[in-house]
Structure 1
């Protein structure tokens, strides 16, 4: 009898331990028929040549196109397969892990080969959460949150398409606790993992290339959610290959800095989205250049973008729409005139019909209009490849003009 009681006690203890831990398999399988047409038009690259009489130009095609229809994944939500788990450590503490892999379910070529979407381990408690590993950057979290299309598919944010820090490896993050009356936030630091040497050779240099810093803070209460985010990624530009004298002259430190501010407000009959974002790409001469790099012209660039969107529930579905614009300031000008700033505008419209909580049909159309050399698309083939096949005389070039696409598909989550 005592043996039976001991066995039952052991089984109960094992049950209590297993109840304190859980592992979940989850994922999304999303596939769509997609068709995209990208177009470029012939332009004069110098206004002084616009009135030139050149019969050779007359014989050139006024425009070139690149089109493709395909079955592809991730039209409404990014296809993925993941594993996550949590263990109750007692005393309000818990440990967890999250491994999430991208999958290409349209052709099955990519499965769980990498956990590049997210691979983290964390410790949580009343103090908040400490998370280690590869994860979304704070800026990407805002891009996903404040876009009615979730920055996914042909309707996804033009801002995220133009520039984004997306995900980062080797990060240490701290998240505020959730009981702060609606306030939330996190800070992130990504190690460059570069080796430092002492002393350095005459043509060598230390750098922080690969280092990342970011933060996001917001307030969510009732229908309102508003947040601001910042991210900075350090890098190098230039050859930086052989550590010789000429590489030292050409090498620059770079800093990619992104700031964005976004908000949503849910009126019930409609949810409004708004986002403003600014990206600065800064370059500076390394100290090892001994001043010679000052002879090089290396302008800073700034890109600004905004997005306005709406999501309207209709029966078992939802209608989404957005307009976004991105404008780039290259600080470029010639001897005769200032180069017009490249810019692009995007319109997107989509409908999602929910067959259940896990399964949905969807359709999306989108169009991007480019000006002054901007080359943003809704996806698909590179039109400039077609343009490169045409021999051009001096003074003219093909520039991306517009990109139009549609997709309709099926998404299932589990």
Structure 2
């Protein structure tokens, strides 16, 4: 009898525990047939043989690079993850989230890292405190207010350019001996590691927000003279940012700011930073949903002692996005136009020419696509996009081979196109 009571009590305790806790396996498998092309052109004029001794030159025309691939993540990023929550009572809960990228097109990348997200958190009426690797506040505006969600060839140019702008200096090398394992380091544009984040509670009448701080985890010496003379070993990796917005009914609007330390030279006394600010919004009219974003980032060098001549000029990157989605039965039409422009802050030294920014690099992108939902979990999709580069900008349609540039300096990037035809299954 006692054994039966003990067994019943154990079952009751287990039932309560399972009711108060949950662990979920989830993921996305997305595969596409994707094509990419990039065209470069020689802009110099042909010079024919002449009697004045001017060197001759034959224009080399244009070169197009292209490839067709079985790719992944054209609509949603392929992933597999585990998340769980335990109810601690009194409105308090503990949670974890471990999410790994997968390359289902070739099977090489599986659960080798949880670089997409790896967090543990504590939440309650005060909001949520989250520790680990997570999305940065500024990335949320890039992806939430993009009809293509920063996936596939439709990804907006704001994100594409900022992703190139935010690389650590130098870009982190692959992990030795494990080439198939993706490197987690190298950029704070999308995610930041070693972070503490705080999220406002969801009961604030539509207002929401978060702040994030990421540790550089660099070694400091009580006497600075003992610091090794190695680049990027003092401050690189640090991140600080925040995002605040309002969502109510059809309207969603948010502003964010982030500062990422991408490099440093201790003995030179320099720190490289990328500071980004953006504002995004969407409004759902029912028949159509409109999206918009404006963004500005600055790649700058801070000097402890400013060198004679002012040092390296900042690089400013401004951009905007206009997008729309249109529900059509079981499907969704998506379209966007994005534009970015670089300001290299160079000064014209020719006294006969006025300073202007008409020759700064810039690029435009037009993307259109269609998603057909076969069910709540499975969808077919198609996207096509084209990028037009001017004045030396070299942005691609998010994939494929690079612009041809051999020998260096002869060819100038012009246009890039891409398409995705694929299937997405979520579980």
TM-score computed with the length of structure 2 as normaliser? 0.86
Structure-1 separation of matches of 2:246 and 2:84? 27
* SS, match of residue 225 in structure 2: coil
User: Does residue 1:276 correspond to 2:294, yes or no?
Assistant: yes
Match 1:398 to one of 411, 419, 422: 411
Whether the 8 Å CA contact 1:254–1:283 is kept in 2: the answer is yes
* Pairs within 5 Å for 1:3-402: 3-44=3-44, 56-57=56-57, 59-164=58-163, 165-201=189-225, 207-236=234-263, 240=265, 248-249=267-268, 252-286=270-304, 293-294=307-308, 297-336=311-350, 338=355, 340-384=359-403, 386-388=404-406, 390=407, 397-402=410-415
Report which stretch shifted further, 71-80 or 334-343. 334-343
- Partner residue, 1:48: none
Q: Deviations over 1:58-107 (max 9, x none)?
A: x3321111100110000000000100000010111000000000100000
Alpha-carbon distance in structure 1 between the residues aligned to 2:242 and 2:282? 19
1:276 and 1:305 in contact (8 A); partners too: yes
Structure 1 CA distance for aligned equivalents of residues 131 and 150 of structure 2: 25
Q: Describe the SS at the equivalent of 1:387.
A: coil
Structure 1's unaligned 5+ residue stretches are: 46-51
What is the Cα deviation at residue 7 of structure 1? 2.1
| CA shift for structure 1 position 319 | 0.1
Aligned counterparts of 1:72 and 1:253: Cα–Cα separation in 2: 38
CA distance in 2, matches of 1:354, 1:381: 27
In 2, the alpha carbon distance for the partners of 1:153 and 1:399 equals 25
Change (3 A) 1:155 1:144: same
State the Cα deviation string for residues 335-357 of structure 1 (Å, max 9, x = none).
33557110000000000000000
Unaligned runs of 5+ residues in structure 2 are 46-51, 164-188
In structure 2, the residue corresponding to 1:196 is in which secondary structure?
Answer: coil
Q: Kindly tell me the number of residue pairs found equivalent between the two proteins.
A: 388
Task: State the TM-score, normalizing by the size of structure 1.
Answer: 0.89
- Supply the distance in 2 between the matched residues of 1:135 and 1:77 (Cα, whole angstroms): 17
Q: Distance in 1 between matches of 2:313 and 2:53?
A: 35
Distance 2:368 2:54 in 1: 43
